[in-house]
């Protein structure tokens, strides 16, 4: 694939207003893939449940459910789930399918998102195949998993730019996170808790979902009938949602973080969603910020209070970040420095064993792809210094990717093909190109200060004589002090932010710009 022509670089102001707030939006939307599709099969849970075998309790094994998705009372999409069986097919005997459609306003840009999921079970209720598809804007992906041995599945990841093959393990009793059958949850009583092992096909990762019965509530239906509903909380990767279950097992209502609510409805009601919604969804992920940073892109030193999350001091401690004091169990005083100059970094030569894994390709960081390797070769040319190669890749990614809000599941090959996106796309492509050029690299997830406060963000780091953080979204070969790393990783690792989103608050105590001294105005 030839190196693409230069795209017009956007102004720093445009980047700050559009790209940064949208950056981690895909993480949240992926989380909604579980929450939004959960509604059809709420009862699969007992203490640690035996997966789809609980379908044995359902007679007949058929169902058709619709729910409308609301954002601040405006309908922005729907979820449709079906459950049926085929008497003539012993391998794909039971089929559970879902389609979810969302139309979202993302920083003033309309994002249309469509996802679908399907699982096929044999006559013993064992998963034989799963399919997940996701499309938004220029990005689309289809993930197909096929059982090849007990607990082993061959997985193909397909996109317009190419395909990737891998294998995953699904222990017996695992349920595909998007598709769960009804059974047993209504036996819960307030105060009781249960758990379920799930597999998320979008991130190829497993999680434990925990469910707790809270109380009973009387709910008035459209028919003016009053139903006594069981209210439950669902904890998925630290993010909680609340559901109301009626006695026949249907979910009447589900409330998720950031204002998204699901309500049971007819097919006709589900289809009546707003194609151009007014509410800006990702503005809801903005972090409440007290105080301001007048020079975010040249900030050299930052002192903040960060509170409201379950992060421990060790989670926040890096070479640039130091926890000065734990003010209370949920609040710390954090000092952050800007990254040092890239030109002054030197490679150590032999890599520590723990660093070599950051040279390997992955399902979404395809550093071994011929297109990625060729572009990396052209960018770095005859540059022998690792620091020079890292700088060249950072500059190339900043210059070539058109800055636009994105809600997709980025892979490096797809980003190279489309050359559009926000911080996720910049970070993923840089990481793949760096690894292809022989530089260990990883994706960091955390916070960054934009024009009016902190937002969730992603940026890469490259290993030289230690980890060096860059931000190709802003064209920074060394990040400023408003970059606050919370975790690192790709794919499933991004789900670690789910328990943090919506809880963090930041208070700026002091921010020093380049050339200022402590105590200065």
Percentage of residues in the chain with pLDDT exceeding 90? 40
Q: What is the mean pLDDT of residues 503-521?
A: 79
Q: Which of 178-187, 229-238, 327-336, 412-421 has the lowest mean pLDDT?
A: 178-187
Residue bearing the bigger pLDDT, 309 or 191: 191
Q: What is the pLDDT of residue 300?
A: 97
pTM summary value? 0.82
Q: What is the mean pLDDT of residues 246-258?
A: 80
Q: Where are the alpha helices (DSSP H) in 248-352?
A: 267-270, 313-316
Alpha-carbon distance 374 to 3, whole Å? 9
Q: Which of 223, 182, 175 shows the shortest CA–CA distance to 200? A: 175
Query: In sequence order, which residues have a C-beta less than 8 Å from that of residue 367 and are 6 or more positions away?
Result: 359, 360, 361, 373, 412, 431, 432, 433, 434, 435, 436
Q: What is the pLDDT of residue 258?
A: 66
Q: Which of 50-59, 139-148, 297-306 has the lowest mean pLDDT?
A: 50-59
Residue bearing the bigger pLDDT, 107 or 130: 130
Alpha-carbon distance 339 to 342, whole Å? 8
Measured distance between the N- and C-terminal CA atoms of the chain, rounded to whole angstroms: 51
Residue bearing the bigger pLDDT, 30 or 378: 378
262's tokens = 């699901």
Q: Which of 176, 171, 121 shows the shortest CA–CA distance to 143? A: 176
Q: What is the mean pLDDT of residues 296-310?
A: 92
pLDDT in tens, 75-123: 999 999 888 888 888 888 888 888 989 888 877 778 888 988 888 888 8
Contact 143, 115 (CB under 8 A): no
471's tokens = 């931000």
pLDDT in tens, 137-153: 888 889 999 999 998 99
Query: In sequence order, which residues have a C-beta less than 8 Å from that of residue 249 and are 6 or more positions away?
Result: 42, 43, 182, 185, 186
Residue bearing the bigger pLDDT, 300 or 33: 300
Query: In sequence order, which residues have a C-beta less than 8 Å from that of residue 350 and are 6 or more positions away?
Result: none
pLDDT in tens, 426-476: 999 999 999 999 999 999 999 999 888 998 899 999 999 999 999 999 999
User: With bands split at pLDDT 50, 70 and 90, how would you rate the model's confidence at 185?
Assistant: low
Q: What is the mean pLDDT of residues 349-372?
A: 92
Residue 301: pLDDT above 60?
yes
Q: What is the pLDDT of residue 412?
A: 95
CB atoms within 10 A of CB 463: 23
In DSSP terms, 461 is beta-bridged to 442, 469
Alpha-carbon distance 234 to 195, whole Å? 10
Q: Which of 196, 161, 164, 192 shows the shortest CA–CA distance to 182? A: 196
Query: In sequence order, which residues have a C-beta less than 8 Å from that of residue 144 and are 6 or more positions away?
Result: 129, 130, 131, 155, 156, 158
Q: HSE, CB side, 13 Å, CA atoms: give it for residue 11.
A: 3
Alpha-carbon distance 332 to 329, whole Å? 8
Residue 305: pLDDT above 50?
yes
Alpha-carbon distance 235 to 14, whole Å? 36
Contact 24, 497 (CB under 8 A): yes
Contact 405, 18 (CB under 8 A): yes
Q: What is the pLDDT of residue 464?
A: 94
User: With bands split at pLDDT 50, 70 and 90, how would you rate the model's confidence at 494?
Assistant: low
CB atoms within 10 A of CB 163: 12
């Amino acid at each position: 694939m030839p190196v693409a022509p230069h795209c017009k670089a956007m102004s720093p102001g445009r980047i700050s207003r559009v790209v940064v707030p949208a950056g981690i939006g895909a993480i949240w939307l992926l989380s909604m893939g579980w929450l939004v599709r959960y509604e059809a099969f709420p009862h699969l849970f007992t203490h640690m449940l035996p997966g789809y075998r609980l379908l044995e309790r359902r007679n007949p094994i058929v169902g058709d459910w619709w729910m409308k998705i609301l954002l601040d009372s405006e309908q922005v999409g729907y979820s449709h789930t079906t459950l049926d069986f085929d008497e003539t097919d012993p391998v794909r005997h039971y089929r559970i399918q879902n389609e979810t459609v969302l139309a979202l306003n993302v920083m003033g840009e309309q994002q249309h998102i469509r996802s679908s999921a399907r699982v096929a079970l044999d006559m013993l209720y064992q998963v034989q195949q799963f399919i997940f598809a996701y499309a938004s804007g220029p990005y689309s992906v289809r993930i197909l998993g096929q059982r090849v041995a007990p607990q082993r599945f061959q997985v193909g990841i397909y996109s317009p730019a190419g395909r990737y093959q891998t294998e995953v393990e699904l222990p017996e009793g695992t349920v595909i996170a998007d598709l769960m059958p009804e059974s047993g949850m209504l036996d819960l009583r307030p105060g009781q808790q249960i758990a379920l092992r799930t597999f998320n096909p979008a991130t190829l990762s497993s999680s434990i979902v925990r469910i707790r019965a809270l109380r009973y509530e009387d709910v008035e239906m459209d028919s003016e009938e009053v139903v006594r509903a069981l209210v439950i909380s669902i904890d998925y990767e630290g993010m909680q949602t609340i559901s109301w279950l009626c006695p026949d097992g249907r979910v009447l209502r589900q409330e998720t973080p950031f204002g998204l609510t699901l309500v049971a409805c007819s097919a006709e009601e589900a289809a009546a969603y707003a194609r151009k919604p007014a509410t800006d969804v990702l503005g809801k992920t903005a972090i409440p910020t007290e105080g301001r940073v007048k020079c975010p892109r040249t900030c050299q030193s930052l002192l903040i209070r960060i509170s409201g999350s379950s992060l421990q001091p060790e989670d926040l401690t890096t070479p640039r970040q130091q926890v000065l004091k734990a003010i209370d169990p949920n609040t710390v005083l954090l000092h952050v420095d800007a990254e040092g100059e890239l030109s002054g970094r030197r490679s150590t030569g032999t890599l520590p064993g723990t660093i070599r894994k950051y040279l390997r390709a992955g399902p979404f960081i395809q550093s071994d792809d011929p297109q990625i390797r060729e572009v990396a070769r052209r960018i770095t040319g005859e540059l022998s210094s690792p620091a020079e190669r890292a700088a060249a890749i950072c500059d190339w990614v900043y210059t070539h990717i058109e800055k636009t809000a994105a809600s997709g599941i980025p892979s490096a090959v797809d980003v190279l093909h489309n050359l559009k996106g926000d911080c996720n796309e910049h970070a993923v492509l840089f990481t793949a190109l760096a690894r292809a050029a022989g530089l260990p690299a990883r994706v960091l997830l955390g916070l960054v200060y934009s024009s009016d406060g902190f937002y969730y963000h992603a940026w890469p780091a490259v290993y030289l004589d230690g980890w060096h953080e860059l931000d190709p979204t802003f064209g920074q070969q060394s990040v400023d002090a408003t970059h606050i790393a919370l975790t690192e990783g790709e794919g499933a690792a991004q789900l670690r932010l789910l328990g943090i989103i919506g809880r963090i608050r930041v208070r700026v105590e002091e921010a020093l710009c380049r050339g200022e001294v402590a105590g200065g105005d």
